[in-house]
C-alpha cells in the first residue's frame, strides 16, 4: 500500500508535492540524455534552417536516430507556433466588479483593466491580477488541442506555458511546461469546479491543422490567467 500525503488549505485541497519550476532541467520531447537533450533544446531555442541541419548532423554522429527525428519535429513546431497564445473564442475567467462574481469573456474581447483570477501552486490559492495588455498574436495553421477527462478541450500554440502536476521519476511535483511537452497522465487544475473535479487529467494532446486560426496573448500583472476553467496558463513573455 502506498501512502500519499495531501496538502490542503481552507479553500483548495489540491496540491500534491512541492512546486518545482524548470524548463532547462526537464527532458524535452522524448530526448532524455546527453546529446539528445542539448540537440533538441538548441533547435527549440533558435529554430532556423541551419540549426535543423547542424542539429541533425550532430545527432547522427553521437546519438540515436530518434533524437534526429525529434529535433526536426521540434524545429517545425516552434517555427509555426507564433508564440504562446490562446485560440480566438476561448472563454477566459474574469472577476466582474459589479456582479461580484466570476464570468467568462472570449479572449479576443478582453480589455485592459479587467480582473483575471489565476491559481498559484506555491501557495495553493487563487489570486487576482489586472489585464495589462491583450496582444494580437496573428494567425496559425497548426496548433495543439489539449483534452482532459473532466473538462472542455483547449486550443493553444505549441509554446504556451502551463502549470502541470506530473511524476517525472521523482514523485508528483509541479512543473511549468510548454504545451508541446504535455503528455497524457499529467494534471491541470480547475479551481472553480467541485472538489472531486479540481484535478483534471490530460487524456490527449493532439496536433491540429486548420487554416487561418486567430490567436491572442493576454498579459496580466500576476503572470497567469484561467482559460476554459483551467487555472494553469502562464503569460508568454
pLDDT digits (tens, 9 = 90+) for 13-34: 444 444 544 443 443 443 333 4
pLDDT of residue 235: 59
Residue in the block written with cell 496580466: 220
d(CA 24, CA 16): 22
pLDDT of residue 130: 96
What is the residue-wise DSSP string for the chain?
---------SS-----S-B---STTSPPTT--SHHHHHHHHHHHHH--HHHHHHHHHHHHHHS-HHHHHHHHHHHHHHHHH-SS-EETT-EEEEEETTTTEEEEEEGGG--TT-EEEEEETTTTEEEEEEEEEEEEEEEEEEEEEEEESSS--EEE-TT-EEEEEEESSSSEEEEEEEGGG--TT-EEE-TTS-GGGSEEEEEEEEEEEEEEEEEEEEEESSSEEEETTEEEEEPP-
- ∠ CA 169-171-173, nearest 5°, is 105
pLDDT of residue 232: 64
Residue in the block written with cell 540537440: 39
pLDDT of residue 1: 54
pLDDT of residue 91: 96
Residue in the block written with cell 481552507: 10
Q: What are phi and psi of 23, to 5 degrees?
A: -90, -45
User: Percentage of residues in the chain with pLDDT exceeding 90?
Assistant: 50
**Pair 230, 201: CB distance under 8 Å:** no
28-to-53, 155, 168, 181 alpha-carbon distances in Å: 19, 21, 12, 6
pLDDT digits (tens, 9 = 90+) for 40-50: 444 444 343 33
What homologous superfamily does CATH list for 86-234? Hedgehog/Intein (Hint) domain (2.170.16.10)
pLDDT of residue 6: 43
Q: What are phi and psi of 164, to 5 degrees?
A: -135, 145
pLDDT of residue 103: 95
Extract the residue ranges of the chain whose pLDDT is less than 70: 1-84, 232-237
pLDDT of residue 84: 66
d(CA 127, CA 180): 26
pLDDT of residue 37: 40
Residue ranges of domains in the chain: 34-81, 86-234
pLDDT of residue 196: 85
Amino acid at each position: 500500500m502506498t501512502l500519499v500525503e495531501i496538502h490542503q488549505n481552507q479553500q483548495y485541497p489540491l496540491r500534491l508535492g512541492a512546486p518545482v519550476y524548470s524548463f532547462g532541467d526537464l527532458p524535452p520531447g522524448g530526448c532524455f540524455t546527453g546529446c539528445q537533450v542539448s540537440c533538441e533544446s538548441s533547435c527549440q531555442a533558435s529554430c532556423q534552417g541551419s540549426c535543423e541541419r547542424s542539429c541533425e548532423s550532430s545527432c547522427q554522429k553521437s546519438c540515436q536516430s530518434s533524437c534526429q527525428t525529434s529535433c526536426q519535429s521540434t524545429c517545425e513546431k516552434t517555427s509555426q507556433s507564433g508564440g504562446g497564445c490562446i485560440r480566438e473564442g476561448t472563454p477566459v475567467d474574469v472577476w466582474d466588479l459589479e456582479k461580484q462574481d466570476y464570468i467568462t469573456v472570449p479572449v479576443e474581447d478582453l480589455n485592459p483593466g479587467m480582473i483575471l483570477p489565476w491559481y498559484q501552486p506555491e501557495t495553493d490559492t487563487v489570486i487576482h491580477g489586472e489585464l495589462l495588455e491583450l496582444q494580437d498574436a496573428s494567425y496559425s495553421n497548426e496548433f495543439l488541442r489539449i483534452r482532459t477527462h473532466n473538462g472542455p478541450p483547449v486550443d493553444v500554440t505549441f509554446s504556451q506555458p502551463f502549470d502541470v502536476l506530473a511524476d517525472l521519476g521523482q514523485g508528483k511535483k509541479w512543473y511549468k511546461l510548454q504545451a508541446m511537452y504535455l503528455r497524457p497522465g499529467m494534471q491541470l487544475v480547475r479551481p472553480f469546479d467541485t472538489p472531486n473535479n479540481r484535478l483534471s487529467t490530460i487524456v490527449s494532446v493532439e496536433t491540429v491543422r486548420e487554416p487561418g486560426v486567430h490567436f491572442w496573448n493576454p498579459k496580466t500583472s500576476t503572470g497567469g490567467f484561467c482559460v476554459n476553467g483551467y487555472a494553469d496558463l502562464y503569460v508568454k513573455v
